[in-house]
């Protein structure tokens, strides 16, 4: 009878820690580029093909299907084009990393430029980082509040 160890070895723990640190660093760089409106840097951070999930809503001009790194990076510019920059707020309540996955949770609010209406609500963002680039971007947010703010 043989017994296999199910414990974590020092080498595998170090590898997992390194992967998590790399994921955290890329996500922090993503947040900084997003805050700065640096579309070029965002394009570089996204993989060529991205698993993008954000509930499509035809009322909201910046929310639509995307799949390439360039399309994903453009979402930040489109959001700024359709909202009032001075009213944009985001707070981060949690930043969790497990290997290649990161989950951010917080609150977001803003004002739609065309209507002058405000939106607010919680959000959760799941990102996956592989080979230093974001391959998954799944955003869950209060889409009803945003749609209502976009409606005339």
Q: Are 26 and 18 in contact (CB under 8 A)?
A: no
Contact 121, 127 (CB under 8 A): no
pLDDT for position 114: 97
Strands 46-53 and 118-130, sheet pairing: unpaired
The pLDDT profile of the chain, 152 residues, written as one tens digit per residue, is 545 445 555 566 778 789 999 999 999 999 999 999 999 999 999 999 999 999 888 899 999 899 999 999 999 999 999 999 999 999 999 999 999 999 999 999 999 999 999 999 999 999 999 999 999 999 999 999 999 999 99
d(CA 74, CA 63): 11
Is residue 152 within 8 Å of 115, Cβ to Cβ?
A: yes
Helix (H, G, I), strand (E, B) or coil at 7: coil
| DSSP bridge pairs for 14 | none
Task: Give the model's pLDDT for residue 16.
Answer: 78
Thinking of the domain 10-150, which architecture would CATH place it in?
A: Roll (3.10)
What are the φ/ψ torsions at residue 61 (nearest 5 degrees)? -65, -25
With contact defined as beta carbons under 8 Å apart, do 109 and 118 qualify? Answer: yes
Q: Residue 35, SS3?
A: helix
């Amino acid at each position: 009878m043989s017994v296999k160890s199910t414990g974590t070895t020092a080498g595998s723990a170090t590898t997992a820690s390194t992967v998590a640190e790399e994921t955290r660093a890329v996500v922090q760089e993503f947040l900084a580029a997003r805050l700065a409106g640096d579309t070029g840097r965002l394009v570089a951070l996204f993989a060529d093909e991205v698993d993008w999930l954000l509930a499509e809503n035809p009322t909201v001009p910046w929310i639509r299907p995307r799949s390439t790194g360039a399309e994903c990076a453009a979402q930040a510019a489109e959001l700024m084009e359709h909202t009032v920059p001075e009213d944009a707020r985001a707070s981060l309540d949690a930043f969790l990393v497990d290997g290649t996955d990161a989950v951010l949770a917080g609150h977001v609010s803003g004002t739609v430029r065309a209507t002058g209406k405000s939106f607010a609500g919680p959000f959760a963002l799941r990102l996956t980082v592989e080979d230093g680039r974001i391959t998954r971007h799944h955003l869950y947010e209060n889409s009803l509040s945003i749609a209502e703010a976009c409606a005339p």
